[in-house]
Structure formats: C-alpha cells, structure tokens
A and B are shown apart, each in its own frame.
Chain A
Amino acid sequence: IVMTQSPATLSVSPGERATLSCRASQSVRTNLAWYQQKPGQAPRLLIYSASTRATGVPARFSGSGSETEFTLTISSLQSEDFAVYYCQQYNNWPPRVTFGPGTKVDIK
C-alpha cells in the first residue's frame, strides 16, 4: 500500500485552520495514524484509528476519513504546531506499516 500526502508544504498564519490530506492506494479502513515531528525530535503520535486523539493531544487536532481518504485538521494553529506531519497505515495481515512522505506546516 502506497501512502501519499498533500500538499508537501502548507504555509499557514498562526490562528488559521490547516487541513492536511493523506491518501492510500487501496483501502486501509480506518487503520490510520497521524504523527507530528518537530526538528531534532522523534515523531509524536497524534491521532490513531483515523479519528481518535492520543493521550494529551489538544482538541484543536482532529482526524477524519476512512478507506483511502483521510484528513488531519488543526483548527487554530499555534506556534508549537509548525512541524512535519506524517500519516501512517497498517495492514492487519500480513502486518505491514507504511508512512506517507509528510506535509510540512510552516509559518506564512
């Protein structure tokens, strides 16, 4: 399964809404996660099962979608949200994990 993300770079002003897209080459049902990675840091799990926020993730982050089309929305960008965001799918069997190429969210 190949994951694609768009756009590659998203320029947003603080306080604005950001919408990131992730597409799977075939259905992954809702077996999809979103991660945030800041420079020099390990990725952080934000969303799993397409729409469930991980522990401690602010409510301004939301995920939606199923099958092949997924969206991560950041409702009002804060300064700490400028980062690269990766989607990731997994297959039940055989167990396989694939990451998307990432979307960089930077300051407009």
Chain B
Amino acid sequence: QVQLQESGPGLVKPSETLSLTCTVSNYFIGSGFYWGWIRQAPGQGLEWIGTISHRESTYYNPFLQSRVTISLDTSKNQFFLRVTSVAATDTALYYCARGFSGSPDYFEYWGLGTLVTVSS
C-alpha cells in the first residue's frame, strides 16, 4: 500500500516562504504516476495547488502559479512544495497525494495532511 506523509513547519510568518516535504513509502516515485499537492483552508473545500510527473513536468493552479514551485528528489523518494510570499489566506491543511493513472487526473492515495498557519 502506497503511503504518503507530509512534513514541514507548522507556523510561517507572513511574506515568508512555506516549504513542505512529502515522503513516499512503498512506491518509487521515479517509476511513474503524478504527484500532487492539495490544500484545505479551515472549514473550507479542497483547492488543487499543483502536480508533478515522475519525469518532473509540473502543472500549477493558475491562481497560485506565480508563487508555487513543486519539485522532487527520487534519491530520497520525496517531493516538495514551495510557496513564496505567504499570507493569512495560505493558512490551510496541506495534503500530498499520488495520481490514479498515467495522467494527471485524479488522486488515489493521500497523506494525512499537515496544518500550516501563517501568522506573525
């Protein structure tokens, strides 16, 4: 069973950079599939942030694209999220997930999420 676990600082100051890591177990991320980040503000719905392929092609939510970078490190079997110039509106539970098929379509396996609060 594929497992994903998010990690990173729980508190980030406004205007600074949010950096999260997703560690994948029981599947080598370099073998295939797409890997994504999704967030959920408190009491709100799901928002797609972006997706990276195992070949490192990236696709971003156009509303976040200017501030977001997703990358991966196959040697560590991890992929990463970086969001610059954060504001209170970036406070959310951040999930990493694995795609369902060979297309960047649906998300089958999810981490438990990590809460990031943006506050001074």
Q: Interface on A for B, CB 8 Å cutoff?
A: 31, 33, 35, 37, 42-45, 48, 54, 86, 88, 90, 92, 94-102
Contacts and interface: CB of A to CB of B under 8 A. Distances in A.
Contacts of B59: 94-96
B107 interface: yes
Contacts of B51: 95, 97
16 contacts: A43-B95, A45-B106, A45-B108, A54-B100, A88-B46, A90-B104, A90-B105, A95-B104, A96-B62, A97-B36, A97-B48, A98-B48, A99-B38, A100-B45, A102-B45, A102-B46
Contacts of A33: 105-106
Interface string B77-120: 00000000000000000010100100111111011110000000
B107 A99 contact: no
Contact of A43 (B47, B62, B105, B110): B110
Contact of A99 (B46, B62, B108, B111): B46
Contacts of B97: 42
Interface in B31-55: 36, 38, 45-48, 51
B61 interface: yes
Interface of B: 36, 38, 45-48, 51, 59, 61-62, 95, 97, 100, 103-108, 110-113
Nearest to B60: A96
B105 A31 contact: yes
A3 to B, nearest CB: 10
Contacts of A94: 59
B108 A43 contact: no
A37 B59 CA distance: 25
Given A96-B62, A97-B36, A54 B48 contact: no
Given A45-B106, A99-B48, 11 more contacts: A31-B105, A43-B95, A43-B110, A45-B107, A90-B105, A95-B59, A95-B104, A96-B48, A96-B61, A98-B48, A99-B47
